[in-house]
Amino acid sequence: MSTDHPTTAPRASTYYDLPAIKEPVWTWEVPAYFYVGGAAGAAATIGAVLQVLDGDDSERLVQRCRDIAAVGTLIGSGLLISDLGRPERFLNMLRVFKPRSPLNLGSWILVTASGLSAGSAVLSRFSRRSRPADPAPRGITRSVGALAGLGAGAIGLPLSGYTAVLLAGTAVPVWKESRRTLPLLFVASATGAACSLLEMGDFDERELTAVRRLGTVAQLSELALAKAVEKESARVPGVGRPYEDGVSGTLWRASTGLTVGSLVVDTVTGKSRPGRVAAALLGTLGSIALRFSLWLAGRASARDPRATFDPQRMADE
């Protein structure tokens, strides 16, 4: 009678097919904040760069950037508070300062950006409406508004991308596996979103040309980085499946189609206002679809136990 027995037992790919991690509990307000906060941060940075490079020649465009940043950070704060359920929960995150915590650091970035953006938007408008007989107060107010605008621009860049760092720092496989390219995608998409909002405004030809060029570069970068995120997630078989299947996959493809459509319409229609508005709306919808696709992809990835176990097994082999 044979007494041979296998020396090792085959390892199960999952634990009884049960999810290994908890599904993110974020509600729709969070992906909405990803869009609003990202566009606000990018607009603040664009306004600050124009303020330094172009001065008074682009005053209207700089003011519009400041307005978008102020309104966006205000709405973004409201969305986060709504997701948390009670305002004091948001205030509790500001009791300490932890630079190594993306969530805590992001809260401070949002609060600082909100104050600086609101200050720059309000003070710059007030200084232009001051009576010519009061040049000194007008000059002081204008200078303070300009400094606030520069501060908002400096913090606007991390505001546009820190949420991607927050996602990549979680245990959700589809976010974690794309940790190198996801922040770049958020910054590019936020810049494109800000340019789409700016294109809806009424500016002179020189200002519109600058916005359209920057928006084109940002949207092309967004398309390329979206593909890079897909490729990075697909290094482990099955992890990138949420970008292909289900509602998240549908929104992911819709985001690409809307962004491509925005580029095509903007190129074909040229500088006509109806064409610009149509292209801007397509770009805005594409940016929103991207955020909601990533949110739903994370939820689907957390429910898939193989997406959690397989990367760990590959790391051990």
Where exactly does CATH 1.20.120 map onto the chain? 173-317
pTM of the model: 0.85
Terminal CA-to-CA distance of the chain, rounded, Å?
A: 36
Positions of CATH 1.20.1630.10 in the chain: 23-168
User: What is the reported pLDDT for 299?
Assistant: 92
Token pair recorded at residue 3 = 């007494």
Domain 173-317 has CATH 3.20.20: no
- Report the alpha-carbon distance of residue 39 to residue 194 in Å, rounded: 5
pLDDT recorded at residue 308: 67
Q: Which parts of the chain have pLDDT scores under 70?
A: 1-20, 55-56, 126-139, 306-317
> What pLDDT score does 65 carry?
94
pLDDT at 9: 35
Give the separation between CA 173 and CA 313, rounded to whole angstroms: 13
* Alpha helices, H only, the chain: 29-54, 59-84, 87-92, 102-129, 135-168, 173-176, 182-199, 205-233, 246-269, 273-303, 305-316
pLDDT of residue 5: 41
Q: Give pLDDT, residue 138.
A: 60
* The CATH homologous superfamily of the domain defined by 23-168: Formate dehydrogenase/DMSO reductase domain (1.20.1630.10)
For position 185, what pLDDT does the model report? 97
pLDDT in tens, 206-265: 888 889 999 999 999 999 999 999 999 888 888 889 999 999 999 999 999 999 999 999
